[in-house]
Homo-oligomer: A and B are copies of this chain.
Amino acid sequence: MSRSNTGVTVEREPAAPIGEPAAPCPVREVLERVSGKWSIQIVIAAAPGPIRFTELERAIEGISRRMLTLTLRSLERDGLIERTVYPTVPPKVVYTLTDPARELYESFLQLMEWAERNRAQITQARRRYDTEATREPLPVS
């Protein structure tokens, strides 16, 4: 094991020179957190309260069992989610957001509200742009 390719961008940094507090650039950090296809969706789904594996699977449209596990591990690793196992039969596992994750959720809400506010405008702009005769030479075949 342990050499499987994938892993929700699980990579060690190029090892900053010495004991450097590492890169300050928060943009990258945010992107790493947020730009995966599933991380925030899990955070969002878990925001209302502790949630089980299967519930997550059903709540998040289109996620595969594989990516769910992978992403959960990644979130757990970063201390954003807590995994609790009830050693019953059959097994029961619940995932709970930590405080940082809850803050992340709040901040992300801003973005979603932005998207909602501007959905129409953007769609329109896009349509306009696409139909502008300017380009689209419809060249030789």
Contact status B29-A119, CB under 8 Å: yes
Contacting A125 at CB < 8 Å: which of B27, B77, B111, B118? B77
Q: When A4-B139, A138-B10, A141-B11 are in contact, do A33 and B115 touch as well, CB less than 8 Å?
A: yes
Contacting A135 at CB < 8 Å: which of B2, B40, B108, B135? B2
Residues from chain B with a CB closer than 8 A to the CB of A104 are 111, 114, 118
Q: How many angstroms between the C-alpha atoms of A71 and B1 in the bound complex?
A: 38
Q: How close is A56's CB to chain B, nearest CB, in angstroms?
A: 14
Contact status A7-B139, CB under 8 Å: yes
Contacting A121 at CB < 8 Å: which of B11, B100, B110, B137? B100
Q: How close is A41's CB to chain B, nearest CB, in angstroms?
A: 6
A residues whose Cβ falls under 8 Å from a Cβ of B: 1-4, 7, 10-12, 21-22, 26-27, 29-31, 33-37, 40-41, 44, 73, 76-80, 100, 103-104, 107-108, 110-126, 129-130, 135-141
Contacting A77 at CB < 8 Å: which of B30, B78, B113, B129? B129
Q: How many angstroms between the C-alpha atoms of A78 and B2 in the bound complex?
A: 42
Q: How many angstroms between the C-alpha atoms of A122 and B79 in the bound complex?
A: 6
